[in-house]
């Protein structure tokens, strides 16, 4: 993009920042300022808590997975049930917060990018609830792969624009949404779907997803009277993981484990694991670990879980990785599929394929721990959306 403007605000160590065209800076600065004065405002908080309780159904349970804990024969495993939220994942926490910001800014039009369609559906949902005009940018390729989610968004009253430039996927949708914002920022709110993007988005998304960790911290103390030993969450852009981790940041005894999609192998193009296999670069307006190809460009990535299929990762995770506060590992498509089946059979909970990555890491770690130790794993979403895909995969393997 043109006219790179860089500023040392909104950094996590050397990561983050605001690498955007100068035309975009006024909109981001206004948003940053508005967010800072609004987030702790008692009226705003009261409204946010109301919708989280009455519409999303929070708090989500912290459920003791007795059968799985016994089966693995090591640590006690607790599931943070974000799959039970309205619309079936953690994404609603963020869009509720952001739509309330937009409403207070006096904006009536919301735009968003979406890849697989999950964030687009969440955005369309809250726009319907608040009577906001909603436009979703989606790569044309993705609109074909995820036709049902396009229908869901339209059913919810949103307009879905199929982006036909470039590779016609998420990256092109982000570019189109940013151009819309540059042209219309006075009456338009850009709702970003993960803890990524230029400042202030990583801060905003972390704030609204931290409800996960704040609840879990209270719930685990009520249940076992002390802190957990491990927190485990899958990492795409990193919003569900940062939401779980951040409220435990100062609890030094609590270890953070982020799980990236290892896909089908360690070659470029086979995975989407920037913290495990990438290097620092600027992507979509911020600096983060990025999966790069041989020309130093953001690489093609792949994962069985569409929601994790992104070449970059949030700046705060990049910082946690560089500073050692969190560890990041990759699990393969196959391991995630095995975990998807195991949690379904052992606990009667069908997890999203994204969340199944976190569960797969639990299957590896728990048996190496003692029964006095405790793991909290975030079940970021439910797996109904993935049942047809897994059915097809298993059918192919059998035949």
Residues paired with 332 in a beta bridge:
263
Contact 133, 109 (CB under 8 A): yes
Per CB under 6 A, does 307 bind ligand PLP?
yes
Listing DSSP states for 151-216 in one string gives: HHHHHTTPEEEEE-STTSSHHHHHHHHHHHHHHHTTTEEE---SS-SSTTHHHHHHHHHTHHHHHH
Per CB under 6 A, does 381 bind ligand PLP?
yes
Pairing of the two strands 279-283 and 76-81: unpaired
Per-residue interface string for the shown chain with ligand PLP, residues 181-200, x marking contact by CB under 6 A: -------------xx-----
For ligand PLP, give the closer residue by CB, 65 or 107: 65
Active-site pick, 69, 80, 89, 113: 113
| Among 10-18, 217-225, 264-272, 348-356, the segment contacting ligand PLP (CB under 6 A) | 348-356
Active-site pick, 80, 91, 171, 385: 91
Distance CA 284, CA 136 (A): 18
The minimum distance between CB 125 and ligand PLP, in angstroms, equals 13
Per CB under 6 A, does 234 bind ligand PLP?
yes
Per CB under 6 A, does 355 bind ligand PLP?
yes
Listing DSSP states for 12-46 in one string gives: ETTEE---EEGGGHHHHHHHHHHHHHHTT-HHHHH
Per CB under 6 A, does 308 bind ligand PLP?
yes
Distance CA 321, CA 303 (A): 21
Which of 236, 274, 298, 312 touches ligand PLP (CB under 6 A)? 236
Give, as ranges, the residues between 111 and 130 that touch ligand PLP (CB under 6 A).
118
Instruction: Say whether 103 is catalytic.
Output: no
| Among 106-114, 178-186, 228-236, 341-349, the segment contacting ligand PLP (CB under 6 A) | 228-236
* Residue nearest ligand PLP, CB atom distance: 381
The minimum distance between CB 245 and ligand PLP, in angstroms, equals 11
Q: How many helices (H) and strands (E) does the chain have?
A: 16, 16
Contact 259, 333 (CB under 8 A): no
Instruction: Say whether 380 is catalytic.
Output: yes
Per CB under 6 A, does 301 bind ligand PLP?
no
Per-residue interface string for the shown chain with ligand PLP, residues 66-95, x marking contact by CB under 6 A: -----------------------x-x----
In the block, tokens 């998807």 appear at 340
> How many residues are present in the chain?
399
User: Comparing C-alpha atoms, which of 354, 361, 349 is closest to residue 72?
Assistant: 361
The minimum distance between CB 5 and ligand PLP, in angstroms, equals 26
Per CB under 6 A, does 374 bind ligand PLP?
no
Phi-psi region of 348 (alpha: psi -120 to 50; beta: other; left: phi over 0): left
The minimum distance between CB 147 and ligand PLP, in angstroms, equals 18
| Among 66-74, 218-226, 349-357, 390-398, the segment contacting ligand PLP (CB under 6 A) | 349-357
- Is residue 325 exposed (0-12), middle (13-18) or buried (19+ Cβ within 10 Å)? middle
The residues of the shown chain that bind ligand PLP, judged by CB under 6 A, are 89, 91, 118, 194-195, 234-240, 307-308, 352, 354-355, 380-381
By annotation, the residues acting in catalysis are 91, 113, 380
């Amino acid at each position: 993009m043109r006219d790179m403007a860089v500023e040392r605000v909104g950094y996590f160590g050397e990561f983050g920042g605001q690498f955007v065209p100068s035309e975009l800076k006024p909109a981001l600065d206004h948003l940053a300022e508005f967010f800072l004065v609004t987030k702790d405002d008692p009226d705003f908080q009261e409204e946010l808590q109301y919708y989280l309780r009455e519409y999303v159904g929070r708090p989500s349970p912290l459920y003791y997975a007795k059968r799985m804990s016994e089966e693995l024969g090591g640590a006690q495993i607790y599931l943070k049930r974000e799959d039970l939220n309205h619309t079936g994942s953690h994404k609603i926490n963020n869009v509720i917060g952001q739509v309330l910001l937009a409403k207070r800014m006096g904006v009536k039009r919301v735009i968003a990018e979406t890849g697989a369609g999950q964030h687009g559906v969440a955005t369309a949902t809250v726009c319907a609830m608040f009577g906001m005009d909603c436009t979703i940018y989606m790569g044309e390729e993705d609109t074909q792969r995820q036709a049902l989610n396009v229908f869901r968004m339209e059913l919810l009253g949103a307009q879905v624009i199929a982006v036909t430039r470039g590779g016609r996927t998420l990256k092109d949708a982000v570019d189109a949404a940013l151009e819309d914002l540059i042209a219309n920022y006075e009456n338009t709110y850009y709702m970003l779907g993960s803890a990524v993007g230029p400042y202030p988005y990583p801060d905003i998304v972390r704030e609204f997803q931290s409800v996960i960790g704040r609840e879990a911290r209270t719930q685990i103390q009520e249940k076992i009277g002390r802190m957990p030993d491990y927190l485990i969450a899958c990492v795409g852009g990193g919003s569900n993981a940062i939401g779980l981790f951040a409220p435990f940041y100062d609890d030094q005894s609590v270890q953070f484990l982020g799980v990236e999609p290892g896909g089908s192998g360690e070659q470029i193009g086979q995975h989407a694991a920037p913290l495990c296999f990438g290097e620092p670069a600027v992507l979509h307006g911020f600096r983060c670990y990025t999966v790069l190809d041989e020309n130093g460009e953001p690489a093609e990535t792949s994962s069985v879980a569409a929601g994790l299929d992104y070449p970059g990762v949030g700046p705060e995770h990049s910082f946690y990785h560089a500073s050692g506060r969190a560890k990041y590992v990759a699990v393969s498509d196959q391991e995630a599929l095995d975990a998807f089946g195991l949690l379904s059979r052992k606990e009667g909970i069908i997890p999203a394929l994204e969340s199944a990555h976190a569960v797969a890491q639990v299957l590896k770690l728990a048996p190496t721990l003692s029964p006095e130790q405790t793991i909290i794993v975030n079940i970021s979403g439910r797996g109904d959306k993935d049942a047809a895909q897994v059915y097809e995969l298993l059918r192919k393997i059998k035949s």
